[in-house]
Structure 1
Amino acid sequence: MRSEARVVAVTGAGGFIGRNLVWRLREAGYDVRILMRGCTQAEIAAALAHADTVFHLAAAIRPREPDEFDRSVRFTHALAAEIAKAGRCPLVVYSSSRRITTPGAFGSATKASEEALFQLDRRGEAVVAAYRLPNVFGKWARPNYNSCVATFCHNLARDLPIRIDDPNARLSLLYIDDLTEHWCGLLRRPTVESGFHEAGPVHETSVGEVASILSAFAGDRRLGRIGDMESHLERSLYATFVAALPESAFTYGLTAHTDPRGNFMEVFRTQAAGQFSVFTSGPGVIRGGHYHHSKVEKFLVVHGQARFRFRNISSDERFEVKVSAGEPTIVETIPGWTHDVTNGGEDMLVCLLWANEAFDPLRPDTYPCPV
Structure 2
Amino acid sequence: MAAEKVVLTGANGFLGFHVRSALKEQSVEAVAIPLGDAYNSWRSPASLEGMDRLVHLAGVNRGSESEVAEGNVLFARQLAEAIRQCKVPPRIIVMANSVQSLDKSVYGLAKSKSAEILGAAAESVGVKFQDVILPNLFGEHGRPFYNAVTATFCHLLARGERPTIENESQLTLLHAQDAADLLLGCAPIETLERLTVDLTVSELLYRLQEISRIYTQGEIPDVSSNFERNLFNTYRSFTFPGDTPILLTQHADARGSFFEILRSHGGISQSSFSTTAAGVSRGDHFHRRKIERFTVLSGDATISLRRLFSDKIVKFRVTGAEPVAVDMPTMWAHKITNTGPGELCTSFWSNDIFDSQAPDTISEAVEL
**Do Structure 1 and Structure 2 share a fold, with TM-score over 0.5?**
yes
CA 1:17–1:4: 2 relative to 1, 3 Å: same
Instruction: Determine whether 1:199 maps to 2:200.
Output: no
Instruction: Tell me the distance in 2 between the aligned counterparts of 1:140 and 1:271.
Output: 24
CA 1:145–1:159: 2 relative to 1, 3 Å: same
Where does residue 238 of structure 2 map in the other structure?
A: 244
Instruction: Tell me the distance in 1 between the aligned counterparts of 2:260 and 2:29.
Output: 47
CA 1:26–1:254: 2 relative to 1, 3 Å: closer
Q: CA deviation at 1:269?
A: 2.5
Structure 2 residue identity aligned to 1:44: S
Instruction: Tell me the distance in 2 between the aligned counterparts of 1:198 and 1:156.
Output: 32
Q: CA deviation at 1:246?
A: 3.9
Match of 2:223 among 220, 225, 229: 229
Where does residue 30 of structure 2 map in the other structure?
A: 32
Counterparts of residues 14-29 of structure 1 (less than 5 Å): 14-29=12-27
Instruction: Determine whether 1:71 maps to 2:65.
Output: no
Map Cα deviations across residues 13-44 of structure 1 (whole Å, 9 max, x no partner).
01111111122223313352101222321231
Instruction: Tell me the distance in 1 between the aligned counterparts of 2:51 and 2:218.
Output: 49
Where does residue 359 of structure 2 map in the other structure?
A: none
Q: CA deviation at 1:65?
A: 8.0
Map Cα deviations across residues 100-147 of structure 1 (whole Å, 9 max, x no partner).
133332012111101101112433433110111001111121111111
Instruction: Tell me the distance in 2 between the aligned counterparts of 1:23 and 1:223.
Output: 30
Instruction: Tell me the distance in 1 between the aligned counterparts of 2:126 and 2:199.
Output: 39
Where does residue 92 of structure 1 map in the other structure?
A: 93
Where does residue 263 of structure 1 map in the other structure?
A: 257
Instruction: Determine whether 1:8 maps to 2:2.
Output: no
Structure 2 residue identity aligned to 1:226: I
CA 1:229–1:96: 2 relative to 1, 3 Å: same
Instruction: Tell me the distance in 1 between the aligned counterparts of 2:226 and 2:160.
Output: 25
Counterparts of residues 273-284 of structure 1 (less than 5 Å): none
* Same amino acid, percent of matched pairs: 28
SS in structure 2 of the partner of residue 241 of structure 1: helix
Instruction: Tell me the distance in 1 between the aligned counterparts of 2:346 and 2:125.
Output: 66
Contact 2:68 2:107 survives alignment (8 Å): no
Instruction: Tell me the distance in 1 between the aligned counterparts of 2:3 and 2:147.
Output: 29
Contact 1:83 1:125 survives alignment (8 Å): no
TM-score, normalisation: structure 1: 0.66
Q: CA deviation at 1:4?
A: 6.3
Instruction: Tell me the distance in 1 between the aligned counterparts of 2:149 and 2:118.
Output: 30
Structure 2 residue identity aligned to 1:22: R
Q: CA deviation at 1:166?
A: 4.3
CA 1:65–1:107: 2 relative to 1, 3 Å: closer
Structure 1 residue identity aligned to 2:84: A
Number of aligned residue pairs: give it: 278
Instruction: Determine whether 1:153 maps to 2:151.
Output: no
CA 1:185–1:100: 2 relative to 1, 3 Å: closer
Structure 2 residue identity aligned to 1:199: L
Where does residue 42 of structure 2 map in the other structure?
A: 42
Map Cα deviations across residues 36-64 of structure 1 (whole Å, 9 max, x no partner).
22232123122112322110010111236
Contact 1:87 1:125 survives alignment (8 Å): no
Instruction: Tell me the distance in 1 between the aligned counterparts of 2:13 and 2:132.
Output: 17
TM-score, normalisation: structure 2: 0.67
Instruction: Tell me the distance in 2 between the aligned counterparts of 1:47 and 1:210.
Output: 41
Instruction: Tell me the distance in 1 between the aligned counterparts of 2:211 and 2:230.
Output: 12
Q: CA deviation at 1:95?
A: 0.7
Where does residue 313 of structure 2 map in the other structure?
A: none
RMSD value, Cα:
3.4
SS in structure 2 of the partner of residue 227 of structure 1: coil
Which is greater in Rg?
Answer: 1
Counterparts of residues 1-371 of structure 1 (less than 5 Å): 6-37=4-35, 38-63=38-63, 66-90=66-90, 91-167=92-168, 169-186=169-186, 199-200=192-193, 201-271=195-265
CA 1:109–1:20: 2 relative to 1, 3 Å: same
Contact 1:88 1:125 survives alignment (8 Å): no
Instruction: Tell me the distance in 1 between the aligned counterparts of 2:41 and 2:89.
Output: 19
Q: List alignment gaps of at least 5 residues for structure 1.
A: 190-195, 278-301, 305-346, 355-371
Contact 1:26 1:32 survives alignment (8 Å): no
Instruction: Tell me the distance in 2 between the aligned counterparts of 1:272 and 1:113.
Output: 44
